[in-house]
């Protein structure tokens, strides 16, 4: 897992090919409320996405929403995007073409959270 923080309170996490096999999402969920950062998850290397991964993403989205922060998924391969569409979750998450587009989206869309 590659992680880097930036000055604008955004954390970028590059997920491995099989996110359910590692602890990246669990660690991110545990740290989400204490770090108070927007999170960009880079899916470029993801090849397999389990139901557990989907659940973790939903939990992370809800946690970040609760602290007025946002989650952006970037570089999502077509096969993985197909899973989001199949389960009807493409409208729950923000998707960006790459990390740069994700940063641009965050800059121009302040959190709509209450």
List, run by run, the mean pLDDT of 10-residue segments along the chain (114 residues): 56 90 81 86 95 93 93 97 95 97 92 55
**What are the residue boundaries of the structural domains of the chain, listed by start?**
2-108
Let me know: does 73 contact 38? Beta carbons within 8 Å. Answer: no
Which CA distances in Å does 72 have to 25, 69, 90, 102?
14, 10, 12, 6
Q: What is the pLDDT of residue 47?
A: 94
Which fold, 2-108?
Transcription Regulator spoIIAA (3.30.750)
- Provide the whole-model pTM: 0.87
């Amino acid at each position: 897992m590659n992680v880097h923080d930036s000055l604008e309170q955004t954390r970028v996490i590059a997920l491995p090919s099989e996110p359910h096999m590692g602890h990246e999402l669990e660690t991110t969920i545990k740290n989400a409320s204490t770090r108070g950062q927007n999170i960009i998850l880079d899916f470029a290397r993801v090849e397999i996405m389990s139901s557990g991964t989907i659940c973790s993403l939903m939990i992370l989205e809800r946690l970040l929403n609760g602290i007025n922060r946002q989650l952006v998924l970037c570089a999502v391969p077509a096969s993985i995007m197909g899973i989001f569409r199949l389960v009807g979750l493409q409208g729950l998450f923000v998707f960006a073409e790459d990390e740069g587009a994700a940063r641009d989206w965050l800059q121009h869309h302040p959190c709509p959270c209450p």
